[in-house]
Each structure stands twice: as C-alpha cells, then as structure tokens.
Structure 1
Amino acid sequence: MFEYFTEHGRAAVVASQDEAVALGHDFIGTEHILLGLVVTEESTAARALREVGVDAERARAETVRICEAAGVPSTGGQPAKDALSSLGIDVEAIKAQADGTFGPGAFQYPRPAYTPEAKKALEQTLAEARALGAERFGTGHVLLGLLSSGGGRGPEVLVALGVGEEVLRRAVLARLAR
C-alpha cells in the first residue's frame, strides 16, 4: 500500500513512527500520525493544520498530556528489551554494532506497531483518496482518513487544541482542490 503514497505521504508515515519512538511509546496511534503530518513541512496537511492553528510544539504537548492522563506508559520498548535480555540477547550491543556498521540510528528496537485505530485511519486514507479521484495518497488524504476514522487520541488532540473536525476537513479539501 505504501507504494501509492506520495513522497510527503510516506515522509509523514515515517515521521509518525519517529514521533512514537521519541515519546517512548510502544505503539503508533492516531496521535502519532497527527504529529507526523504536522512535522512534514510544506505538505498539504501541515499547511492546513497551521491554517487552523495547529503547530508541532502544541500538538506534541497535547499528545503527551492526553497520553499521560490516560495512563499510557513511556517505556521506550523496555519490556521487549528486558524479555530479550532474559534470553541473553543484548539489544544495546546490537544497536551499537549496527550504528557502527550502518550509521547512527540504523537500528531501532522495538519498532512500534500500529494500533487498530491507526490502521483504520490509514485504511480510510485509501477511501478518502479514491473518493476524491486521486491515484496516490498524500498527507491531505492521510489527514482526511484520520478525521473520518474517528478513533484514537489524534482527534482528542485536535479537540484539545480547539480545532473542529469540519473546519479542518474544509481546509484540507480546499488545499487539495488547488
């Protein structure tokens, strides 16, 4: 499916993974997808989000606040690392060797998995793009997919930032129509 994403669309999905890792989360949720869209500068979604007052710093702060309030741990994958360590596998040693061989950051473990809500948002991306007659999926389609999926903490972050779903949807559609 990712071969149908535009360059910005792929960059936003990768950025969502990076945001989850940076926050120490063992999953990629709709809140991380939202952050990935915000930080993919010069993209349709980032411009629409800025237009309605959403920036990366505020979105990240609200994500952290909402996740902490929900009791979401920021373990950085420590339980998985501990499990491997109990088997005699030193993840830090593997990371050090991979970084030395392939460059810093080449090895990240564990790589978080998508939540069911995030998977649904990405599936809705396809539906939104097709409904608009698009052959490829850009950040605008991803944002529309996140909005139409209605699940996860991404929409909660938007509400906390005072952003109405319909206002944002119109801003994205206007940009896609250009």
Structure 2
Amino acid sequence: MFERFTDGARKVVKDAQEEARSRGDRAIGTEHLLFALTRDDGPAGEALRDSGLFRGAAGDAVAALPDPSGLDGEALRLLGIDLDAVREAAEDAFGPGALDAPSGSRRNRSPKGHIPFKPESKKALELSLRQALNLKHGYIGSGHILLGLLQDRRFRAARALSGAGMDLEALRADVIRRIPPKAA
C-alpha cells in the first residue's frame, strides 16, 4: 500500500512518527496523523487550515478528549468515587502532580527506533486507500489520509475534530474538492 503514497503522504506518516516520538508515545495514533496533517502543504493541510484548525487548535481538541488511560471519571462517579477528589487528596498528601507519571518513567522518554501504528491508525491508512480507489485515483495523497481519518467517527482524530466544532461532512467535501485527480 505504501508504494501508492505520494511524497507528501509519506512525509505525513514520517511527521506523525515524529509527533509520537516527541510526546513520548509508544505508538502512532490517529491524533498524530492529524497533527502531521496540520503542517501538510497539500489538500489536507489547506482544508484543515481554511476551516480554522491549526496545530495548536488540533492539540487542544485532542487534549479535550476523555483520558486515554481508561480512567472514566463519569463511571467512577456512578460508583461513588470522585476522581477529582482523589487527585486533590493525593496532591494534598504528597504534593502537586503526585499522580503524574514520574519524570523518568518509560512514558516520558522519547522512544528510539521504529514506532508502530496503533490499530486505529492502521485502519485509517487502509481507509485512505479505499478513499483513493472510490475517487478513482491511482495514488494516496495527504487528502486521502484525511478522508481516512474522517471516515470512522470513533477515531480519536475524528472525535477531536468533532469536539472542536468542526463539521466533518463539510470538511470531507472540501478536501475531496481539493484533491487533484492525478498525483502532483
């Protein structure tokens, strides 16, 4: 599949890996692809920026998503556990940031070498191929990658965009309009 990627699409994938590395993440998520697309010079980056989504806004939108650690504050509240109160009590007893990962933890160190894709990112890239085929394009560009991210609203990137107030269908139509029929 990667043989169909344009140089721009390959750069997006490489930039997504660097995004994950710089954040100390062990795998590339759809949010890393979104961050990389905000810097893209092609149809995806243009569509995102024209709709008001820049790198900082993308980071804020992803940060606003529920905690990926699996701690569901609402579910804990239903069990009578106030997650904010637990955090506050821990910080009162042990100091600010008591529940944060230690600075020397594996999570906070930049991973070296190859960083794998999370399953949802692999799926988004597979969907980018399907999008290219549906549009009868013989290549996969950055616009197709964005279309792949938008296709499944369960992806973190799609949820972040939606949570930021983006109209995903309008964004989809805009990027389709911008994608050239032949690779540049």
TM-score by length of 1: 0.74
Q: Say whether residues 1:134 and 2:162 are aligned partners.
A: no
Q: Decide whether aligned partners of structure 1 residues 109 and 133 sit closer, same or farther in structure 2, where only a CA change above 3 A counts.
A: same
1:19 corresponds in structure 2 to: 19
Q: How far has the Cα of 1:70 moved from its partner?
A: 2.9
| Cα distance in 1 between the residues matched to 2:124 and 2:2 | 14
Q: How far has the Cα of 1:151 moved from its partner?
A: 3.0
1:35 corresponds in structure 2 to: 35
| Cα distance in 1 between the residues matched to 2:35 and 2:104 | 18
1:115 corresponds in structure 2 to: 118
Equivalent residue for 2:146, pick from 133, 143, 146: 143
2:55 corresponds in structure 1 to: 56
Q: How many residues in Structure 1 have an aligned counterpart in Structure 2?
A: 150
8 Å CA contact retained: 2:149, 2:155: no
Q: Which amino acid aligns with 2:68?
A: A
Aligned positions of 1:154-173 closer than 5 A: 154-173=157-176
| Cα distance in 2 between the residues matched to 1:32 and 1:144 | 15
Q: Which amino acid aligns with 1:21?
A: R
Q: How far has the Cα of 1:71 moved from its partner?
A: 2.9
| Cα distance in 2 between the residues matched to 1:19 and 1:61 | 15
RMSD over equivalenced CA pairs, Å: 2.6
Unmatched tracts of structure 1, length 5 or more: 82-91, 93-107
1:70 corresponds in structure 2 to: 68
| Cα distance in 2 between the residues matched to 1:5 and 1:131 | 16
Equivalent residue for 1:125, pick from 125, 128, 131: 128
Q: Which amino acid aligns with 1:64?
A: A
Q: Decide whether aligned partners of structure 1 residues 111 and 21 sit closer, same or farther in structure 2, where only a CA change above 3 A counts.
A: same
Bigger share in helix? 1
| Cα distance in 1 between the residues matched to 2:120 and 2:143 | 18
Q: Which amino acid aligns with 1:70?
A: P
8 Å CA contact retained: 1:24, 1:77: no
TM-score by length of 2: 0.72
2:4 corresponds in structure 1 to: 4
Question: In percent, how many aligned pairs have the same letter?
Answer: 34
Q: Secondary structure at the match of 2:65?
A: helix
